[in-house]
Amino acid sequence: MLVLLGLAVLITYLWSLPKPWHPDPRTLAELAREIVLPLYMGFLLPVICLGYASAAIADERTGETLVYLLTTNIPRPLVYLSKYAAALILTLGMALGGLGSLCLVPGKIGLEALGVFWPVTACATAAYVGLFLLFSAWVRRATFLSLAYALMIETLTGNIPGFVKRITVSFYAKSWLYESGEMLELAAKGVALSLFDPVSAATAQWVLGLASAGFIVLGMWIFSRKEYD
């Protein structure tokens, strides 16, 4: 994970250097459009989340240590909730730390972007962790399922025109960002924005919140009923 993050920081650094075809200093909107949205929100954030969340229960299963948790007197839903809290804290630290390092590489312009991006990142992280932890409670090889989901659903479906992309977490995160980032002209290109067809930031916040809660409740239900081998 740290290697991926280091690579992203290096890419951002190289991007921010003045070039013959782009001698002017980078703007805030460019940082957001060219680095943070595609590289961080589109790839790094889901990978960070799946790295921690999908392993939370699946690793205990493959390591055969889950038995120690299942035979304590702690109710299973509470065990699941504790796992969620632990995975969320770890992932938030990594996700916000990663966002901070990417934004700060180009200098002062990144601070403003960080202010806009961090609440969206935090909420999207909560939803992703809920989803990937649910996979972890459901199947033994949760990392593969999460990876397939991240690549097939979030990356591919999330970027095609139409209504289908509304099943992805990233759609709502981006919708929220576009509205919050109006002053940054994140989605200033009218054609692109109409193709994306975002929902309002308020709707996106509701959906992300409800999705997180829904994933947690469903995960608790699966974990409290499932017989693990």
User: Which residues here bind other proteins, judged by CB under 8 A?
Assistant: 63-65, 67-75, 227-228
Do residues 206 and 122 touch, judged by C-beta distance below 8 A? no
* Cα dist from 162 to 159, 167, 216, whole Å: 9, 11, 28
Q: In this complex, which beta carbon is closest to other proteins, that of residue 75 or of residue 107? A: 75
Q: In this complex, which beta carbon is closest to other proteins, that of residue 75 or of residue 93? A: 75
Q: In this complex, which beta carbon is closest to other proteins, that of residue 77 or of residue 209? A: 77
Q: How far is the CB of 56 from other proteins (least distance, A)?
A: 14
Q: In this complex, which beta carbon is closest to other proteins, that of residue 52 or of residue 149? A: 52
Residue count (the chain): 229
Residue 202 tokens, joined: 């308020």
Do residues 179 and 205 touch, judged by C-beta distance below 8 A? no
Q: How far is the CB of 228 from other proteins (least distance, A)?
A: 7
In angstroms, the CA 55 to CA 133 distance is: 8
Residue 177 tokens, joined: 């960002």
In angstroms, the CA 192 to CA 211 distance is: 26
Q: In this complex, which beta carbon is closest to other proteins, that of residue 23 or of residue 73? A: 73
Q: How far is the CB of 75 from other proteins (least distance, A)?
A: 5
